């Protein structure tokens, strides 16, 4: 028996879950942008109380590896590492896009291709395409969306687009094979399920060297009118 705490902070939704092996015991989430700093510890307390466990009982902590919000990923990773160090337990990571693909594939009866997308601002998204067995057809990339995006896949395949980046495609891509699903986010409930599979295979991270998969460098923007 293993108790796993999962922290998901890669998008505008911050969520936490506790699993016993691959069974979900408790989960809590907030749909507030930039909420990880102020809400993550409160959500951890919520799921501990609901599950009726103490931190000392945890066997591992799982974190979403990215891509996604630079700030959110750093907050989630630093919190997870702190817990792992303090409790002397392993850290497990799972890609943020993989979490969404895993969730949507439960309802993919037609075996369509899946394209999870995370908003990267303007007309850019973090995305990849996987098949109905969750095997990658493309690498994870930061992609600027236009009317020709994914044309090679859409020509002969139905593709399901989802995640907070998919809204950028809806009014741009007009293919009859493009299907859009709303309100899909990476969530800790799915993170715990996939992380437990990796934990069972002892696929854990090195606490000292692990860093989230940011995909792009973080750029600090100066406020408008700010003097040099």
Range of the domain at 71: 3-95+186-200
Mean pLDDT computed over 95-101? 97
Is position 207 within any domain?
Answer: no
Could you tell me which residue, 209 or 1, shows the higher pLDDT?
Answer: 209
Residue 220 confidence (pLDDT): 43
> Strands 159-162 and 113-119, how do they pair?
parallel
Co-location of 177 and 190 in the same domain: no
pLDDT greater than 50 at residue 151: yes
Co-location of 86 and 109 in the same domain: no
pLDDT greater than 60 at residue 224: no
Quote the mean pLDDT of the chain. 92
Residue 221 confidence (pLDDT): 44
pLDDT in tens, 205-220: 999 999 999 987 644 4
Is position 224 within any domain?
Answer: no
Residue 217 confidence (pLDDT): 60
- pLDDT-based confidence at residue 228 (cuts at 50, 70, 90): very low
- Domain at 80, CATH number: 3.30.420.40
pLDDT in tens, 46-86: 999 999 999 999 999 999 999 999 999 999 999 999 999 99
Is position 215 within any domain?
Answer: no
Is position 58 within any domain?
Answer: yes
Co-location of 69 and 153 in the same domain: no
Residue 32 confidence (pLDDT): 85
- SS3 label, residue 98: helix
Is position 56 within any domain?
Answer: yes
Number of separate domains in the chain = 2
Mean pLDDT computed over 191-198? 96
Mean pLDDT computed over 13-27? 96
> Strands 23-31 and 13-20, how do they pair?
antiparallel
Co-location of 164 and 114 in the same domain: yes
What angle, rounded to 10 degrees, do the helices at 96-105 and 188-200 form?
Answer: 100
Co-location of 136 and 112 in the same domain: yes
Co-location of 90 and 194 in the same domain: yes
User: What is the distance, to the nearest Å, from the Cα of residue 163 to the centroid of all Cα atoms in its chain?
Assistant: 10
Could you tell me which residue, 123 or 17, shows the higher pLDDT?
Answer: 17
Is position 221 within any domain?
Answer: no
pTM of the model: 0.90
- Domain at 118, CATH number: 3.30.420
Co-location of 41 and 73 in the same domain: yes
Co-location of 46 and 101 in the same domain: no
Is position 161 within any domain?
Answer: yes
Q: Sign (positive/negative) of CA torsion 168, 27, 69, 117?
A: negative
Is position 213 within any domain?
Answer: no
At 190, which helix (H) or strand (E)? Answer: helix 188-200
């Amino acid at each position: 028996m293993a108790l796993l705490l999962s922290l998901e902070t890669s998008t505008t939704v911050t969520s936490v879950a506790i699993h016993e092996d691959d069974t979900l015991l408790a989960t809590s989430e907030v749909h507030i942008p930039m909420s990880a700093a102020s809400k993550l510890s409160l959500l951890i307390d919520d799921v501990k109380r609901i599950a009726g466990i103490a931190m000392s009982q945890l066997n591992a902590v799982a974190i979403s590896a990215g891509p996604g919000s630079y700030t959110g990923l750093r907050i989630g990773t630093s919190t997870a590492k702190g817990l792992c160090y303090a409790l002397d337990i392993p850290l497990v990571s799972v890609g943020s896009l993989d979490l969404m693909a895993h969730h949507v594939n439960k309802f993919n009866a037609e075996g369509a291709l899946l394209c999870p997308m995370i908003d990267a601002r303007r007309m850019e998204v973090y995305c990849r395409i996987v098949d109905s067995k969750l095997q990658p057809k493309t690498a994870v990339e930061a992609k600027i969306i236009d009317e020709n995006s994914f044309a090679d896949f859409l020509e002969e395949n139905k593709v399901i687009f989802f995640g907070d980046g998919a809204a950028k495609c809806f009014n741009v891509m007009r293919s009859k094979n493009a299907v859009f699903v709303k309100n899909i986010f990476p969530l800790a409930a799915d993170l715990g399920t996939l992380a437990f599979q990796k934990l069972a295979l002892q696929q854990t991270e090195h606490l000292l060297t692990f860093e989230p998969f940011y995909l792009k460098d973080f750029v600090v923007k100066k406020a408008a009118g700010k003097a040099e």
